[in-house]
Amino acid sequence: MNESRKEGFMKKVDAYMADRYNFNGAEIEGVMQSGLRKPVMKGPIAILPNGVSSYEDFNNMTADEIKQKDVFPYKPLAHPIHSTAHMVFPDEWNEVHPEHNRMDMDHDFPDEYLPEFPAPLFLTTYKELGDVSNGKEITITNYWELFNGLLTPEQMEGLKELLRPSPTTWFNQTTHRITKAPSAGGACFSCHVNGHTNAAFELAPDARPNLARLRVETPTMRGNYNLQLLASKRSVRSMDHFAEIEEYFDGDPMMQQAIGPRAHQKQVANRMGDFNSIIDFPPAPKLGPLGKLLKEKANEQELRGESLFWGKAMCSQCHSGPEFVDDYMHDLQVERFYHGRPEGPIKTFALRGIKDSPPYLHDGRCPTLHDAVEFFNIILELDLNTKEKEDLVAYLLCL
């Protein structure tokens, strides 16, 4: 039944997304993601509601007016099948891994607006090597060949565990699944490809019942060594702890008992954390050692954007330090602008390497950096003009 309904269902999903976004394929000229295989897309592409002629109109409207007129362009995105939920992988991943192709739905974003696949992997221990994956997807079958001699034994064991598939609530060997054929399940690196992300989405593990859960995009693992907070809405304070609790991501321990839980021992989770702790950000050649632009390398627009970042745009209120993040949760109170359930405090996302991690916000409602700037201009009532927004995006591309 799911197979026969999928085509019709995805037409509705695609129509909904087309009503919200103009996926026009426009690129930022000359700007590529760090692996140099995919361009960074240009925005904003959120479609303005009737009665709003330009994004600048929001500078003249209060939160109450935007809510009353129901014209907020960045309402939350839901999981298209919220009741079943679970991971939804992008098309370019499913082409290589057909075992993750769901019988009931596909990803709702075009591949052009997602991270490059496979993403490059940078290590804190071998900065001089650049992308240690050599442009390959790291898998359970090639990791030893790629990393033998580079990793300590514990890191090598941790990487193996991050790559090892195990049954999940809906990807498994039983008849309780959403794939046509049985599968071995998923691994950490099924979503966090090469320690980054392929923008697979799921429901956040933080709340129940299912309908109260928020859609979440897969965050990058880059730079986790420097973070104090490792979950969207919970105070998870160590990478090994996160490796332990992740096996109940979709949430039912009784179901896990039936399909075969990972049941990591503490020493195994520690080793997963050991590898996680050496995944670095991509190079940022225009940034100096204190995270400020090098004036001899940055252009005038980028320098103007930096001034806005630390000044009028107030980005640095939450994004500071070596990772451009404060390691706090913040409640943006977005419900001031639309009729809907408050989402509450959510962890701030690090901005280092941000051009590699579209779409933006926890649920991906901002497909481009331009959309993210428009979102914050509205909700923080910054009164930025068009030129200032472009300057800010130019700076973000340097991070």
Better pLDDT: 265 or 252: 265
Better pLDDT: 252 or 370: 370
pLDDT band at residue 167, thresholds of 50, 70 and 90?
Answer: confident
Extract the tokens encoding 131.
């992308």
Answer whether residue 96 shows pLDDT above 90: yes
Q: How far, in Å, CA of 110 to CA of 95, rounded?
A: 14
Least confident of 120-124, 232-236, 271-275, 289-293: 232-236
C-alpha neighbours within 13 Å on the C-beta side of residue 9: 15
Answer whether residue 1 shows pLDDT above 70: no
Summarize pLDDT for 61-91 with one digit per residue, the tens.
Answer: 999 999 999 999 999 999 999 998 999 999 9
Closest by alpha carbon to 377, among 366, 359, 389, 367?
Answer: 389
Check residue 232 and give its pLDDT: 85
Rounded mean pLDDT of 84-103? 96
Answer whether residue 231 shows pLDDT above 90: no
Summarize pLDDT for 38-50 with one digit per residue, the tens.
Answer: 999 999 999 999 9
Answer whether residue 207 shows pLDDT above 90: no
Extract the tokens encoding 182.
């049985």
Report helix, strand or coil for 304. helix
Check residue 3 and give its pLDDT: 84
Q: How far, in Å, CA of 204 to CA of 296, rounded?
A: 43
Percent of the chain topping pLDDT 90 = 83
Summarize pLDDT for 118-152 with one digit per residue, the tens.
Answer: 999 999 999 999 999 999 999 999 999 999 999 99
Check residue 253 and give its pLDDT: 67
Rounded mean pLDDT of 300-322? 97
Q: How far, in Å, CA of 127 to CA of 146, rounded?
A: 16
Burial of 145 (0-12, 13-18, 19+ CB in 10 A): exposed
pLDDT band at residue 158, thresholds of 50, 70 and 90?
Answer: very high
Rounded mean pLDDT of 182-200? 95
Rounded mean pLDDT of 176-180? 93
Domains, the chain, ordered by start? 20-78+285-396 (1.10.760.10), 91-280 (no CATH)
Summarize pLDDT for 4-13 with one digit per residue, the tens.
Answer: 999 999 999 9
Rounded mean pLDDT of 330-336? 97
pLDDT band at residue 234, thresholds of 50, 70 and 90?
Answer: confident
Check residue 248 and give its pLDDT: 52
Extract the tokens encoding 394.
């130019």
Burial of 296 (0-12, 13-18, 19+ CB in 10 A): exposed
Percent of the chain topping pLDDT 70 = 96
pLDDT band at residue 247, thresholds of 50, 70 and 90?
Answer: low
Report helix, strand or coil for 279. strand
pLDDT band at residue 18, thresholds of 50, 70 and 90?
Answer: very high
Rounded mean pLDDT of 373-397? 98
Rounded mean pLDDT of 310-319? 98
pLDDT band at residue 237, thresholds of 50, 70 and 90?
Answer: confident
Answer whether residue 213 shows pLDDT above 60: yes
Answer whether residue 275 shows pLDDT above 70: yes
Check residue 250 and give its pLDDT: 62
Check residue 249 and give its pLDDT: 55
As a whole number of Å, the CA-based R_g of the chain is 21
pLDDT band at residue 372, thresholds of 50, 70 and 90?
Answer: very high
